[in-house]
Homo-oligomer: A and B are copies of this chain.
């Protein structure tokens, strides 16, 4: 179901491994994918000049710098970090890599990523549930005459019933003020915009009446209100297609990166209003951007569906978040009525309805419910584990029949927080890494192939997994002080590993990973794994029962499954059981924009979700303590990871022998 770019074959010799990789990827990324290590510490800027490779067949773009002599270039030598793959090629790694790198790598499996889940509109159409919650109807109303002098409003309702079987429609005072004129502008030919209720037994609301036929223009907006970033999509409600997309920082970030500090600010005088206005500004900037890209009028947007965690939803709706962060953690509401978008300060029209995703609890919010919808988990028979990893990791276990959920306070390590040289996943962030197991020389890859600035969440995971697999750190995350390398040293806050020397870094300082960083990481992954184990235990199941793992959130898209299992973040399961849903919250919002049937399912799903407060489950603490090791105190839970580490130890001994 995943949408792929053109793939090129890259064959590495003498290792004898072939991988397929997207056109435009670098040779170093291909080597990484093939499980081959190339020393490279400048992040792909060509500064270190270590990553020389020979392009034996085919050609690449780039890969040339002043570190290469004209003769080298002539021979076909390139720098792997900046060589862009355009066609099928054969690459020879240099002797050194051939010697023990190739040998060691030959049994390192390919990297695994979760398959991408894509939302299928055709499926909605086939099931006949592609009926948006806000729909337009064209009516040729009978003209009033002496035999039919029904009032304008009654005339409209009668025609809605007669022509479309739509009954129980609520007309607001506001609409009544407009209809007389509208009816007579185009000889009683009108378009009525109707908002359907979630519960069929209640009334539909008439949102707008226009003269003429406008049924071919009905647009909506889906929004994910993330703590860090707000994403939006402009949707054609007739075709279901996404016409434009945009993202913007959540401007609340100026009052703190985490949810708690924003909630604290919201308790100050005017604070809640400020928080509301800031996030609304972000949403408006997205709306403005998307509309400016398309020939679509602001008044043609009939609805906007938004999903966010419970705190974000409260702040956006200007609901007091005070008790979300205070025991026993009670939000104002988990269900939210449709609101006129103008009442929320959105740059949309008063006839545009803002629909908010319901939440389950203070810490399992609408973004998770939307993710459950977007990922299809709400309708699968497979026993699924849904994990959205961020500062709070939300976990849901279940299937179409039942859903158990919990939030674990993972801390900000996965977002680069609490890590000495941690950073968000932006240009220059180390996002991939491998290690020469003998020399301990690293292969550093950065986002955008920029000089390394720090370590992002996904990079951190791979770093720690690789260091652990190579025996550089032990089960409790301590560096092996006996290794002979200048890269391990005692720094200000204890032992650390130098990833990038200052001269090759973009930060003009050594970029290091400290034992404290590793500790924070272990606590974070331990909280999540313990959450999964505890929740499974609460519902009487075990890891082996999981038939599908759904990863959501920005981190989820980059996660290296093998690394995640190596460190004990994700349960050890076959890679093909993993699915990546991307921004599940945005996908769920889009689905709700397109199908009122799905909005009904949202409520049903939300009502099926049983929320567990992990801090009150006595076994959680034990599970947590047991998880504070790499991968876990109980190695039998991660047999493959343990096997990989043992194998690596063996290979290293062989390599040392050579």
A153 contacts B334, CB within 8 Å? yes
Quick one: which of A305-341 are within 8 Å of B by CB? 317-320, 322-323, 327-337, 339
Segment of A131-139, A143-151, A382-390 engaged in the interface with chain B: A143-151
Segment of A18-26, A168-176, A469-477, A501-509 engaged in the interface with chain B: A168-176
B145 contacts A176, CB within 8 Å? no
A244 at the interface (CB under 8 A from B): no
Task: Name, among A176, A335, A361, the residue most crowded by chain B CB atoms within 10 Å (CB to CB).
Answer: A176
B149 contacts A337, CB within 8 Å? no
Q: Please indicate the chain B residues that have their CB under 8 angstroms from the CB of A257 in the complex.
A: none
A330 contacts B170, CB within 8 Å? no
Q: What CA separation (Å) do A212 and B54 show in the bound complex?
A: 81
A173 contacts B336, CB within 8 Å? yes
Q: Please indicate the chain B residues that have their CB under 8 angstroms from the CB of A145 in the complex.
A: 328
The chain B residue sitting closest to A157, CB to CB, is B335
A181 at the interface (CB under 8 A from B): yes
Interface size on A, residues (CB 8 A): 47
For chain A, what secondary structure do more than half of its interface residues adopt (helix, strand, loop), or is it mixed? loop
Q: What CA separation (Å) do A176 and B359 show in the bound complex?
A: 15
A146 contacts B616, CB within 8 Å? yes
A519 at the interface (CB under 8 A from B): no
The chain B residue sitting closest to A319, CB to CB, is B176
Q: Please indicate the chain B residues that have their CB under 8 angstroms from the CB of A171 in the complex.
A: 333, 337
Q: What CA separation (Å) do A322 and B177 show in the bound complex?
A: 12
Q: Please indicate the chain B residues that have their CB under 8 angstroms from the CB of A330 in the complex.
A: 144, 149-152, 155
Instruction: Scan A323-367; emit 1 where CB is below 8 A from any B CB, else 0.
Output: 100011111111111010001000000000000000001100000
Q: What CA separation (Å) do A323 and B328 show in the bound complex?
A: 59
Given A173-B339, A328-B144 in contact, is the A322-B149 Cβ separation under 8 Å?
no
A613 at the interface (CB under 8 A from B): yes
A179 at the interface (CB under 8 A from B): yes
A293 at the interface (CB under 8 A from B): no
B173 contacts A337, CB within 8 Å? yes
- When A and B form their complex, which 7 residue pairs have the shortest distance between CB atoms, in order from nearest? A153-B333, A180-B320, A144-B330, A173-B339, A149-B328, A151-B334, A151-B331
**Can you list 15 A-B pairs with a CB-CB distance of less than 8 A?**
A146-B328, A146-B616, A149-B328, A149-B329, A151-B333, A151-B361, A152-B332, A155-B330, A173-B317, A173-B337, A176-B337, A179-B332, A180-B322, A180-B323, A180-B332
A residues adjacent to B (C-beta < 8 A): 144-146, 148-155, 168, 170-173, 176-177, 179-181, 201-203, 317-320, 322-323, 327-337, 339, 343, 361-362, 613, 616
